[in-house]
Structure 1
Amino acid sequence: MGRWWPRGLRPRLLAGFALVTVLGSLAATWAITESAGEALVASNQRRISETVSGQIGAVTHEVSHPPDQAALDRLRDSVGTDTLVVFEDLRSVDGTETDLITDGLREAVRAGDRVVTQRVVDADRPWLLVGAPVMITAPDGERTPSGIEVYTVRDLSAVQEEVDALVRAAAVAGAAVLLLATLLALFTARGVLRPVRELRDTARRLAAGDLDARTEPQGVDELAELTVTINEMAESVQGSMESMERMRADARRFAADVSHELRTPLSTLTAVTEVLAASTEDMAEDARESARMAISETQRLVRLVEDLMEVSRFDAGSARLREEEVDMVSAVRDTLRARDRLDQVEIHAPEELPVRVDRRRLDVIVANLVGNALRHGEPPVRVSVFADRTHVNLVVTDGGPGLSEHVVPHVFDRFFKADAARTRTPGSGLGLAIALENARLHDGDLTAGNGDDGGARFVLRLPRASGDIDPGRERGVRG
């Protein structure tokens, strides 16, 4: 039933209307035709019984008692064809349909003093059997059976045709009612579903980001109340989103402003730490350790400010690509060599693989991915470079325990750290977020997961070089 029942609201309304109408029409048709048919048959049965009784009564006074064969024949002729008249051993019969007279009818006639009827069906035709005893009336009015029994058979086919015509008329009327109910259902469904469709369209616009979408309430029914509620919800969501966007914009602007303001004093502080680093050998052990800690924290602060400024450029949409033809394999090796990590990483790559990228941003991506694998994973760390028909792929894997399920969705979140206890790690918590933004700036993508061996697996996909990219073209990040 569930498989065949329509799923849409409009088809269900129409199907419900049609089902109720059909059931009601069938019930009404059956009741009407049964009642009318029975009344029609009963009326004809009563008319036939009265006619037969009158025909018998018209000649009864002419019949002597006991009757002879001629008297029985005269009585039979007065009743009509298909009639049987019986008196003891005498019989007068006319017609072949008298074979339909049943023993039950004869017993009822002999046991009573009135006309008896019985309906039978033979060869799909309805028949009415009528039996009546001929009564003798004494001078004092007492009536006694004469022993003469009259039986006649009447064809009810004409009556049955009238009943069939009545059924057909009821069926036609039911079909008309069904059509009318369908039209009414269509009209009602249209009126009911129009506000529902409008609410659906409004919900879709809201889901697509159009927070100004509203539906004008119509009427004072439950749908109008639902429309008002959805409009109020949309206003609340719009207010919350606008407030959140203002807060995010303020936070981004604050980070950018702070980072910019910190650049100058940090540059000075960096110069001082370089001088301090050159003179640590002449310091006492305690002072030397404090100086090294100050130098390390200063360098970490500088990297954090640089990452914050880079993130602020992404947020502001001012990041630009400076694409050039680059050998992907050589660029990866240069990145690892510059950070003294060639001997810590296994490289699986072809001899060369040209691609158009921003070399500086590719260096940032590779450095962040490999640095993350070395800091948080376990050996061996592998970098695989290969190409398919449309993309160049760089895969970084490690032999560590991999990423837990709750970590994977947040790997690229800003300032996210899988282990809350590692609050003093050298990273800023922005490296993977910056790597993802750089990948998207190239119209590529960066995904995280676990390899078949259980370690973490990061996959960078960048579009291959195409002839429609002009050399040296600058491209801004898309908002």
Structure 2
Amino acid sequence: MRVRLVVAFVVVALISAVTATALAYRDARTAVLQRTQQAAVHDLRDQVTAVAADFEIPPDQRSLSRFTAQVADGLVSDSRVVVARYQDLVAVSDSRTDPDARISPELRTAVHIGEEARFQRVMWRGEPYLVVGMPVRYADGDRETSGLEVYALTDLRAERDDIAALLDSAREGTVPVVVLAAALALLAAGTVLRPVRKLGRATRELAAGDLGSRVAATGHDELAELARTFNETADALQASDAELREQEAKARRFVADVSHELRTPLSAMTMVATVLEEDADQLPPDAAHAARTVGAETARLARLVDDLMEISRFDAKAVRLNAAETDLADTVRASLALRGWTDRVETRLAEGVRAVVDRRRIDVIVANLVGNALRHGAPPVTVTLGTAPAADGSGTEWVTLAVADHGPGLPPGARERVFDRFYKADAARTRGAADDSGQGSGLGTAIALENARLHGGTIEVADPTDLADGNDGDGKGGERAAHEPRGGAVFTLRLPLRRTGEDTE
């Protein structure tokens, strides 16, 4: 904008200077020429009147030459040449002048048939001249001409040089005008753009999260009004943000309090449900079915409460890692065995992959990812453990744990929301009939992602199973993946490979 303002100022100043120069040149040229023309006409008329009083008509060549010389001697300017004509006689005050060279036929005709003095500007040999002609009349006023015509040739080079000097002066004056306009434009641009820059900086700070950013509004112009509007908007945004944060904090406290309060009655309900399930075979069929349903729903409610409490701890920043160097392959096998999934999941685990992690939280991640694959996908479900270099080329190694299924996959648009809390994509991913754990709460992937981030890692989701580019630990994963049917979803846990003695913060 600064450049545009300076250019606009300079262009306006340049146009103004050029226009003023052109108008001044035109007016000065007209004034100089009119003054010269009027002076030449009056001078010639006065001198002819004075000399013609004693001039006899008809003249001879000698008397006509004498008349011409007398008129030329009496003219104010010495640079004028006088030409007199009477019928076929022609006399010139300067013998070196061709009388027909600078007097045009048009002017001669106008003087011959006219009653007043006539003038014409002509160019001769590249130089400007003024030619004034007038007829000589009888003094008795009979309106009859004497037949004598007098012409005065005036050199206009001096006037031309004066006008050219004036034009040069005007042109030279244009340069400082343009420079001054540029300086004023820079000053004006700085004055105008300084509030704009401050407003832009405050807007960037506001966009970056600094809701306390404000702009000093001084004056009563449009920029000051804009600054006040920005401040009012920032005040409203800060108030809304504070209100939302307060409401969010209340909601989190409510969830945490409700989850905590539910644990005690849930413990009692779980014990009763367990007893009922153990004795279900001794009950009538309807009562046995009810007992098993109560037990399953109570277990599901207990898991939901546990998940809510875990999410509450993440929100309260109260989660800490209990990290130790761990064999990840053993951790994955133990997690699958604990839940009875060993026979239902195909594993490709690289041996000897050890990292400093919280074993319990890795177990939570594996349980959630594999549980989702069993619940919503289709067999075979594959768990692949390996290592891979960092994508940024830094040379850092990462642990990769991929959980793949061969179900219908994620529906369009679900990939961006699959880690949102309480989000369920069951419209496309079927509920596994072999899994009796029931419908999930929609918190499993969110908890898994939070645990991955706590380790400095992440979880990525992709479409068709294709582990050919990964490291499955036995060097054969790519060959096998190339022959597997495509489909399903792949959730990949990526953790930085940290060992004992390395920075684990």
Change (3 A) 1:68 1:358: farther
Alpha-carbon contact 1:260-1:309 (below 8 Å) kept? yes
Percent identity over paired residues: 45
Q: What are the Cα deviations for residues 405-436 of structure 1, in whole angstroms up to 9, with x where unaligned?
A: 54333222211223589999531211111111
Distance 2:82 2:411 in 1: 102
Partner of 1:147: 147
Distance 1:36 1:343 in 2: 108
Change (3 A) 1:227 1:134: closer
Given candidates 45, 48, 54, the residue that maps to 1:53 is 45
Distance 2:67 2:376 in 1: 122
Q: Which moved more, 1:194-203 or 1:94-103?
A: 94-103
Partner of 1:4: none
Distance 1:50 1:104 in 2: 22
Is 2:424 the partner of 1:417?
Answer: yes
Change (3 A) 1:164 1:344: farther
Change (3 A) 1:162 1:398: farther
Letter in 2 for 1:429: G
Letter in 2 for 1:301: L
Partner of 2:399: 392
Alpha-carbon contact 2:130-2:156 (below 8 Å) kept? no
Shift of 1:394: 3.7
Partner of 1:458: 491
Shift of 1:75: 4.0
Partner of 1:27: 19
Alpha-carbon contact 1:216-1:227 (below 8 Å) kept? yes
Is 2:463 the partner of 1:430?
Answer: no
Partner of 1:65: 57
Distance 2:96 2:85 in 1: 15
Partner of 2:456: 443
Change (3 A) 1:301 1:38: same
SS at match of 2:212: coil
Distance 1:321 1:376 in 2: 30
Shift of 1:153: 3.4
Shift of 1:48: 2.5
Distance 1:381 1:68 in 2: 136
Distance 2:149 2:185 in 1: 62
Q: Which runs of 5+ in 2 are unaligned?
A: 73-78, 390-394, 432-436, 466-485
Change (3 A) 1:229 1:110: same
Alpha-carbon contact 1:133-1:146 (below 8 Å) kept? no
SS at match of 1:64: coil
Q: How many residues are paired up? A: 462
Alpha-carbon contact 1:215-1:231 (below 8 Å) kept? yes
Q: TM-score, normalised by structure 1?
A: 0.83
Partner of 1:117: 119
Computed over aligned residues only, the root mean square deviation of the Cα atoms, in angstroms, reads 3.3
Shift of 1:180: 4.0
Letter in 2 for 1:48: A
Distance 2:302 2:67 in 1: 134
Partner of 1:91: 90
Distance 2:208 2:311 in 1: 26
Change (3 A) 1:293 1:49: same
Shift of 1:159: 1.5
Partner of 2:392: none
Shift of 1:442: 1.6
Q: TM-score, normalised by structure 2?
A: 0.79
Distance 2:26 2:184 in 1: 29
Q: What are the Cα deviations for residues 317-345 of structure 1, in whole angstroms up to 9, with x where unaligned?
A: 12112333345455445444444445555
Letter in 1 for 2:459: L
Distance 2:333 2:282 in 1: 38
Distance 1:38 1:97 in 2: 29
Distance 2:67 2:321 in 1: 123
Distance 2:108 2:380 in 1: 111
Distance 1:380 1:218 in 2: 70
Distance 1:89 1:379 in 2: 130
Shift of 1:288: 1.5
Partner of 1:105: 107
SS at match of 1:215: coil
Partner of 1:158: 158
Distance 1:225 1:446 in 2: 48
Distance 1:181 1:450 in 2: 64
Q: Which moved more, 1:264-273 or 1:34-43?
A: 264-273
SS at match of 2:321: strand
Is 2:325 the partner of 1:325?
Answer: yes
Q: What are the Cα deviations for residues 176-211 of structure 1, in whole angstroms up to 9, with x where unaligned?
A: 444444444444433333333333333223222222
Change (3 A) 1:75 1:230: same
Q: Which moved more, 1:310-319 or 1:56-65?
A: 56-65
Correspondence 1:212-361 to 2 at 5 A: 212-329=212-329, 331-342=331-342, 344-345=344-345, 350=350, 353-361=353-361
Partner of 2:200: 200
SS at match of 1:153: strand
Q: Which moved more, 1:43-52 or 1:280-289?
A: 43-52
Letter in 1 for 2:215: T
Distance 1:38 1:454 in 2: 92
Partner of 1:135: 136
Distance 1:146 1:96 in 2: 25
Q: What are the Cα deviations for residues 239-294 of structure 1, in whole angstroms up to 9, with x where unaligned?
A: 22112111211221222223233334433433333333322222221111111111
Shift of 1:392: 3.3
Distance 2:488 2:87 in 1: 114
Partner of 1:408: 415
Distance 1:386 1:306 in 2: 32
